[in-house]
Amino acid sequence: MTGLLTDKVALVSGAGPGLGRDIALALAAHGADVVLGARTVSACEAVADEVRALGRRAEAVRLDITDAASCGAAVEHATAALGGLDVLVNNAFHDGNHRSFEDSDLAEWQATMDVNLWGTLQMTKAAVPALRARGGGKVVMVNSLSAHRIQPRYGAYATSKGALETATKSLALELGPHGIRVNGVFPGYIWGDKVAAYFDHLAGRAGITPEEQYRRVAEETALRYLPPSEEIAGSVVFFASSLSDPVTGQSLGVDGGHWIA
């Protein structure tokens, strides 16, 4: 691997199994030291061991992005233990209530918004002073195809992610003078165990094989496949690295062409 992030320090929220893990490992593979934050610290510890196995420093912290004190403590830990902060990856999320608007209690929508919008903004605000102290930095929002390709019963999630996309642009404009770039990646289906299990369920309901269910969805994409989380992580590395220095306020689809605006 080339050292696109040599000696940079990154903080990844929602850094347990799945995409959070693969983002952390990709950052480390390109030379970054990583602070891994999630509500369950044990999930982060396992990933931290993998980061250390790549020869980089790693710290695991309990992080609840809906708690301002928790956000501040995570940033303080990064600066105290690793010397500063250069990259923030906002990966923690709430996936909504999966109910129609009419059948929803709006308190459920609020709970999703509290994590995906307000929590993400709170985490970002906590990180800004540390990023400024290093002369700038990168903030990467892990957004979702759902913000663009609206589906029934995903209203709470889609609305929160749509709001986050607008917030990303606002932050890019306001934080740009400090050398802080703010961008978002928009995955669709991320191929892995959870999506495979979901497709097995859908296939059973439709009376088809899991392979046919996969093909039905993959054929909706331009590239005819569903990217795994390791590939999504590569796009995060791009936004975290100097390769993206002229880029801010942008929304990058990483969905195999499932949505082309």
Is 225 a known active-site residue?
no
Q: Which entry of 154, 157, 189, 214 is annotated as an active-site residue? A: 157
Go through the domains of the chain in sequence order and give each one's CATH number: 9-190+228-254 (3.40.50.720), 191-226 (no CATH)
* Cβ-proximal residues to 102 (8 Å cutoff; 6+ apart), any chain: none
Kindly state the average pLDDT of the residues 139-159: 96
Residue 22's pLDDT band (cuts 50, 70, 90):
very high
| pLDDT 10s digits, 59-86 | 999 999 999 999 999 999 999 999 999 9
Distance CA 5, CA 140 (A): 14
Residue 1's pLDDT band (cuts 50, 70, 90):
low
pTM, rounded to two decimals: 0.97
Q: Is the pLDDT of residue 2 over 90?
A: no
Kindly state the average pLDDT of the residues 31-51: 96
Question: In the beta sheet, which residues pair with residue 35?
Answer: 11, 59
| pLDDT 10s digits, 162-195 | 999 999 999 999 999 999 999 999 999 999 999 9
